[in-house]
Structure formats: C-alpha cells, structure tokens
Structure 1
C-alpha cells in the first residue's frame, strides 16, 4: 500500500493509493480522502483459521478471523469473529473492530508518547520509539497495529507466548495504559 504524508492545516494527514503487503504501511499515505471527509480505514487480517466441531453426524467447519482496523491517525481497533465462510468471518470481525475503536494519543510526527508495556495471560509486550528512518521493528501482529495507528518508527519486543490473540490483547493493554497515562499527565498540568 503506498501512502504519502502531506501537510494539511498544520497536520500531516494520510491518503491511500494502492495495496502492497509486507511493508511499513505508515510510510506512504495521501490526503484527498480526508478533504472529502470519507475516511478509508486500514484493515489487516492478522489470523484466519479453520476450526472444527465434532457432532453426531460428523465434523462441522467454521472460520475464525482476527482483524485489525485503524485510520492511521490515532484510532485503532481489533475484532474476532466466526462464520461458516472465511469472507463472512473477516467482514464480521472488521465490523466488530470498527465498533470498538480506541483513541491513542500520539506525539509529534506520529510517535509514541512514552515507552509502554502491556500484559495479557503469559504474553508481555514492550514498545518504544526508534530514531527516524529505522521503521517498525516488531512481529507481524504488533506491526499491523502500529501501521493502523500511523506510527512510522517504533520497536517492540514480545516476552512469553507469541500467540497472535494474546499479542494483540497485550498490545492493546499497553495502548490503554498510554491513554490513561496521557490523561493523568494532561489533568495534572
């Protein structure tokens, strides 16, 4: 996906151009969609699995989708859903992600404000800023979240289980801590 950052009303705003995978998505975004007030959301399928249930007549198969949705300007959400078809599972989970989005405060040039860590079950995630030009150094699950937020330079480390469900929940736990810490800082200043 090519994205270009252009200045619009003293703020860098993204616009999507084309789809390309396995790159730092926040590097290139375009402004036109924000001028017309139609926001195109970044959507990434983190995991799509086929699950089986054994019943009296045999096996029944369903698909489970884990999807991350963001607007590349500080809003991010994730959704998990099951359906009989893979496409339906992805649509359901993206709808769920859009309805449960989190506003994350970002610093200047779309950076994390603080170094944060989050935990879920046996997974611990540590995130911190990197210098300009480094890009995102993280696993694919964390990268999809940082790309959806619009962060260009960051690093992350996973300690413990690398199950994508746990990693995503631990990352969101860290981002919620970041929101709380920012609100407390804003309140006391």
Structure 2
C-alpha cells in the first residue's frame, strides 16, 4: 500500500468541495457489492410450515393370548412326519407339552415402544444374507462347460430380436442382458452351482437316525488311518528318528526341544576358510528325561534339525526328588566352567541362568538354584550342567549298598529335614 494515496485522497476532498467534477469510479476493497441495505428477495416463512412434526402415534398391534397358541392338528402332524423322524416328532411333542401357552403369550408379545421392529418374521423364507446357505446338489455340476464365443452371443441376440414384440423398449433389451448366459452346458451349473463352501449335513447313505460312516468304524481302523496319514506327512528324517527311538508321533510332539547355542565355525584348509554352522540343542519330555545334541552343517536350518534329533536320541533319565528337584547339591566342571546345583524346598522355583533354566524345564525340575564360577562359556555351561545332573546317586542304591534302610540314608542326605 502506498503512503501517497491517503494524501492524494485528502487533497481531492478539498478540491471536490471547491469545484464539483464528475466522480471517477475507483476500485473497491471487496469484489462483491454492498448488500447491507438490500432487502431479502424471499420473504420469511413460518417455521411451523417448514418443519413437519410427526404427531401420529405408532400403530398398536394386538396382544397375544394363550388361545392363539393352539396345538398341532392331525393334518399338521402328518405333514411334519414326512420331514422329521419319529424320535424328532416325539421331541417336538414333549416340547409342546412342557411349554405353557400363558408363558408364550407373556414373553412373545410384540413390543409397543417407539423402537419396536416394523416386521414379524415367521422364518418361512431363507434370507441369503443372514441365514445359512443351502448347498445345491452336486448333480448341477457340469465338468464339460465352455464359455460362449462371440458367434454364440450374436446368435442369441438374433433369436431374441426375432422373438421380440414390435413395440419393444429399453426394458426388453435390459431383460435380455439379465437373462443371457455366458457358458455352454448345463443351465444349473451357471445359475445354481454346487458350492464347496457350504458344508453338507450328511454324507451319502447317512440320515438323522443312522450315525455317520466315520463313527461306525472301529477305533483300530481310525487309528490306522491316522497313522498312515501322519506317516505320509512326515519327512524321511522324522520317520528314521521314530524308528530309532521307538517313540510314536504323539510322544515325539510332546518332547520339548530348544537350541541353546548357535554360532558359526571356520575350518582352515588348503582351499581356504570353510565356514559352517554349529548348534547345541537340548531335549526332554518334562518327566525326567533329558538329552543334549551337537551338529554342524553348511545350512543353519539343517544344523538345528540335526541337533534336535540327536538330543532326542541321547535322552537319559535324570533322578528327581519328589519329581521337582535334585538329590542334594551337585557340582560339574567342563573346561574352565565350574558350577554348583543346589536343591531347594517346594515353591522355590528356578533361580538359575537362562541356559540351566531351559534344561531344567525340559527335564521337569521345578525347584533349583545354581551358581556358575569362573568361565561362563555357553557351550561348556550346558555340558557341565548335564554332567552334574547325570552324576546324581540314587539314595535307594546307596541304601542297598550299605545294607541300611532308606530312612537312614535320607536323614544323612537332608540333615534330619525329612
């Protein structure tokens, strides 16, 4: 904005009073014209005429009475007997006798509040959106269907035009587009196809009264079928593991396995450095069996699988006192790793480092404390823990060797705390 404009306007005001001249139209500050003094073109309308107030009361529906719930007639029972079996008809009769019509009249009266439903559904029509879909029969399927070509569509259009009335309109052409088929073959295959997404209630030869064919088979036949199916899904290595250990597939799935140590190793040869993957795994059934396994492979996945399989094959029983802790304090040493495992009372828990914790979980030990001295190499820690657990002496064997009773040996082991 220029500072000269206010002065110029001020000078113009003095000169305008002295010599009247024609006023030059100047630019407005707003593009729209002033509408302050203009009257509205549309007169005001009363609000009572513009807003329609609905003062009508909702239609009151008649209330149900106990007399409205009548028993089935003989004709209705005969019609139901064609659809249901005798056992189902007996169940329907028992249900009708157990329910009092007065209760039905009290509980099933339609709502009269403003939020009541505007319809009553008697469930006689299947709604495809909210009801269960009905599977079309498999006979509707046509495996030899083919899509129509342009010549087929032209032929259909020619036939439709030949049969079309003289005074045809757009609706007739829209009807042709709705009714025209796009495939050649069975009409039901296109309009009512057999869908596998809707499950069938009964298989071939099954009814409501007869049990399913699978249930009629003996447990031995079902078990053989399950074992054959599982054997087909298992890999060759898994099958060899089951044959070597004698475990079943369900027992092998319940074994807890964990890879505790995994790192790469390098072997220097005349051809250069050869890098491989090393894995140390632990396995246990959480009921007193524990084993460790080592493996090396070019691929990390293969090394994990081999280590777990060897750990399962190497599982040995671990003595447990009351199936929760060890017999006394144990020590183990592998390399520079020295550790001590100490038995604890019930509810103490596993207060050990993570490697020993995983081994105790696999073996089924719940109360234990440990102390690792000197080096804490993960691989040697696992081996030292396994060596300490396997070095336990069973008190019953000690009692038999000494020729004493088991009570005396327990007092020596637990300092009269038995």
> TM above 0.5, one fold?
yes
Contact 2:319–2:394 (8 Å) recurs in 1: no
Q: Highest Rg: 1 or 2? A: 2
Contact 2:323–2:364 (8 Å) recurs in 1: no
CA shift digits 1:103-144 (9 cap, x unpaired)? 111111422122111111221111112333332111222111
Matched, 1:175 2:401: no
Quote the Cα distance in structure 1 between the aligned partners of 2:283 and 2:251: 16
Q: 1:61 is matched with which residue?
A: 275
TM-superposed CA distance for 1:61, in Å, is 2.1
Quote the Cα distance in structure 1 between the aligned partners of 2:301 and 2:390: 30
TM-superposed CA distance for 1:70, in Å, is 0.6
Contact 1:79–1:96 (8 Å) recurs in 2: yes
Which aligned pairs between 1:1-189 and structure 2 lie closer than 5 A?
A: 38-39=251-252, 40-55=254-269, 58-178=272-392, 180-182=393-395, 184-185=397-398, 187-188=400-401, 189=405
Contact 1:81–1:93 (8 Å) recurs in 2: yes
TM-superposed CA distance for 1:59, in Å, is 3.8
Normalized per residue, the structure richer in strand is 1
TM-superposed CA distance for 1:44, in Å, is 1.1
Which structure 1 segments of 5+ residues have no match?
A: 1-35
* TM-score using structure 2 length: 0.34
Greater CA deviation, 165-174 or 81-90?
A: 165-174
Normalized per residue, the structure richer in helix is 2
If asked which structure has higher relative contact order (CA below 8 Å, sep 6+), I would say 1
Change (3 A) 1:172 1:182: farther
Q: Alignment partner of 1:67: what SS?
A: strand
- Give structure 1 regions of 4+ aligned residues with deviation exceeding 6 angstroms: none
Quote the Cα distance in structure 2 between the aligned partners of 1:110 and 1:125: 20
Contact 1:105–1:182 (8 Å) recurs in 2: no
CA shift digits 1:63-97 (9 cap, x unpaired)? 10010111101100001100111110011111111
Quote the Cα distance in structure 2 between the aligned partners of 1:57 and 1:176: 42
Quote the Cα distance in structure 2 between the aligned partners of 1:65 and 1:37: 25
Quote the Cα distance in structure 2 between the aligned partners of 1:90 and 1:168: 16
Q: How many residues align?
A: 153
Q: 1:11 is matched with which residue?
A: none
CA shift digits 1:17-71 (9 cap, x unpaired)? xxxxxxxxxxxxxxxxxxx963511111111102223455554321100101111
Quote the Cα distance in structure 2 between the aligned partners of 1:75 and 1:168: 16
Q: Alignment partner of 2:357: what SS?
A: helix
Which structure 2 segments of 5+ residues have no match?
A: 1-248, 406-418
Contact 1:41–1:69 (8 Å) recurs in 2: yes
Quote the Cα distance in structure 2 between the aligned partners of 1:121 and 1:66: 17
